[in-house]
Each structure stands twice: as C-alpha cells, then as structure tokens.
Structure 1
Amino acid sequence: MKATISSLLIILLIFSCKDKPTNDTEDTTIDISQINVNSNPLEGAWELVGYYNYVDNEVIDSFRTSEGYRQVKMYTDSKVMWSKYIPTDSSEWFGYGSYTVNGSELVEILEYGSEMMSKIIQEKKEFKHELIINGDSFSQIEIDEDGNRIYAENYKRIE
C-alpha cells in the first residue's frame, strides 16, 4: 500500500514539474504599470510659441513670440504655475494656482503671483478661456462678455 501511495506521489510530482506546454498563442497578461493612461492631456510643461488675434471669431492676425521672450506653463493633475521672461522688462511675472478643464473650458484660479501679478489677482483671481487641445499643442482663447473670441495664446509641449 505504501508503495502504491509513493508511486502515485512520484507520478504527480513528475507531471506537476513538467515544463509548460508551448504553443503559438502570445501571453495576454497586461502589466498595468506599463500602460501610460493620461486622462489629463494638459499635464506637463508647455511653452508659449505665438498668438492669434480675432475679429468676428475669425483669426485676423497671428505672430510668434519675440526673440528672447519666454513663457512657460506647468500643469499637474490640479495645479498650474507659469512664468514669463521678457528681456526688455525688469518686472517679474509668474503665477500659481489651481485649474479645471470642463469640456472646452479652461478655468485657472490663481492664489498668488509676482508683485505685478498679485495686483491683478487682487482684482481678478479667476481666468476663463476656451481650450483647444491638439496632441502636443494647445490654445487658450480669451473670450469677451458676449462670447466672442478676442485673442489666443498658443503653446507647444516641452515635456
């Protein structure tokens, strides 16, 4: 009897240690940590590259930023920070706050900023824009009280 049980255990051990059978099907296991799902297309760092001016909601003029001028925005999942450097201006320009995107609307609520920006924030904290995102570029469009486009800042992704 002991020999029969021992034989069965050995047979089970042999079959359980057998190599996994190979076939032509691929392993369909997915490592979720390797999937880059960006539910927030604004998250990252962006640099201003140019502007559009509008009349009757049509672009009438476009121009690039001046030589040496830099404006960078950085978005996390809920925060925004931007800085602006103008070589011919000794004023500092930066702001920090939170933001939300609701469909095609971008709302930035600034908490604090540079001395110049703090004066603006005292009067107006909330900045609403129409938002158009196209892959690694986006435009934030200033809208007047009648819903007409005034001008756009156009950004490209730098990270």
Structure 2
Amino acid sequence: MENIVLDAVDRRLLAVLQEDATVAIAELAERVGLSTTPCWKRIKRLERLGVIERRVAILNRETLGLGVTVIVAVRTARHSDEWLQTFSDEVARMPEVVEFYRMSGEIDYLLKIVARDIADYDRIYRKLTKVADLHDVTSSFAMQEIKSTTALPLLD
C-alpha cells in the first residue's frame, strides 16, 4: 500500500474528524480554513484514497455493561494457512473480540476482548478454546484504562 501525502489542511481536517465525525461540513470547513465545497471535495478524496475508511459512533462500554477488558495471548502448535484461516474466521465472528492480531515473537495471536464480568469472560473463553486447537491461552484482566483512543497520530 502506497503512502499518501497529506498537506497541513488534510491533517487538520482528519484531526477534527477523528474527534467528531458528525461535525457539520460548514463548521468543519471553517475550522480548517476552507470554504464548504473544497472541504467536502477533500473529504471525498480522502475517502476514495482509503485514508478515511468509515465513520462510526464510539460507544461507552461501561454504560452498555461491558466493564471487563481482557487481553488474551494465544500460542498454538499449528501454523498452517488452513488452520489460520479457520481460526481467524471463527474469531472474527465473535463480537466480544474487538481487536485481533497475529504477532511475532513468543505469542502467536493477541486478542482484546470485552465482557460483562468474569463469568461472561469464562463463557467467551470456553467458546474461544473450541474454535481451534490451541497450545496455550493466557488471559490478563485490565485493572484500569489509562488511555484508549481511535485517533491516529497525523505526522508531517
């Protein structure tokens, strides 16, 4: 994937949208120093280029009763493409898994899971261990969320 060159206006526009994607186009244009039409055209260009993938609402986990965050490290003895496809397809279908990474090093996969409570996580854990043959699953429970953001750094 090729890197896209962003100018200062693009970066300001993206910074505002990362904070609030519902801001009206007229206000957004004013905040980044453009008129409405050029601002709208830049947004459409950034969407077309894939810089803006989608616009979403970020929900409050606590108010939805999802107060437990678990980081799960998975090791497996199986590394075939077929095994990975089965494992990743099944994990992708689990709505409680909000992040899922294939790792380098001693851990093969890292998952971020949200759950209502420990009993709910146990249900998710049992479902996860039935998905595929796993060598080791280690769960770490987040005690405090210190930083969580979806905003990416917009470097010059």
TM-score by length of 2: 0.23
Q: Larger Rg: 1 or 2?
A: 1
More helix by share: 2
* TM-score scaled by length of structure 1: 0.23
- Point out the structure with the larger strand share: 1
Q: Which fold has the larger relative contact order, with Cα–Cα distance below 8 Å and residues 6 or more apart in sequence?
A: 2
